[in-house]
Amino acid sequence: MNLLGPDVVTQFTQGDTRAFTAIYNIYYPRLFNFANRMLDNREEAQDITAETFVKLWRLHANFSGHDKIRAFLFVTCRNACYDYLKYHARENSQQKLVQQLLPQTDDVLLRDEIKADVLDHIYTEIEKLPEQCKTIFTLSVLEGRKNNEIAELLQITDKTVRNQKVLAKKLLRLALFDHLRVVSMLLSFMPAALL
């Protein structure tokens, strides 16, 4: 449904701020609701919606019609929401990865500096995994994909995916054991105030 008259679109492409305001007033509530449904986070949805309109304004001269404006708004907003969700999924998966590979009693290793060092070692060891094992582990743990999705993507069975994930964790635990033990011993000599 065309909510904007042809004059508004023409004025907008010529840089008329009143035409931009008209577009903003029509689409802001729809775009915000769209982003909020995707993210379930009002503040992020507001930020992404506002940023989408900033991008629209920067490119105002490039739109030939109402449909192009509408498509740009929703595609840009959707992509920004996906980027936000991917970033937070990756951040969460990194934290889960550290927790899975560290012994449960070594909670002190989650301190910021040590966590960075441990993550660096983990990623170094991930790179040393056998190729299929590394690919499956990366897709599963770092990207948060499900077994059946990985199996379909790599055209292998679910069982192969599960086996490779188990193998990856075993290999990583073995490779990281000495490093984590040394870090634990060093921490035991540090004054409690520094922990």
Mean pLDDT per block of 10 residues along the chain (195 residues) reads 67 90 90 88 92 93 85 90 82 61 46 57 79 87 85 92 89 74 57 43
Say what the pLDDT of residue 155 is: 92
Query: Domain residue spans in the chain?
Result: 6-87, 102-194
What per-residue confidence (pLDDT) applies to 180?
62
CA distance 106 to 173: 14
Instruction: Say how many C-beta atoms besides its own lie within 10 A of residue 150's C-beta.
Output: 23
CA 9/CA 158 separation, integer angstroms: 51
Q: What does the DSSP assignment read for 146-172?
A: -HHHHHHHHT--HHHHHHHHHHHHHHH
pTM of the predicted model over 0.75: no
Question: Is domain 102-194 given the CATH code 1.10.10.10 in the classification?
Answer: yes
Fold annotation for 6-87: Rna Polymerase Sigma Factor; Chain: A (1.10.1740)
Euclidean distance between CA atoms 181 and 153, whole angstroms: 37
What pLDDT is attached to residue 51? 94
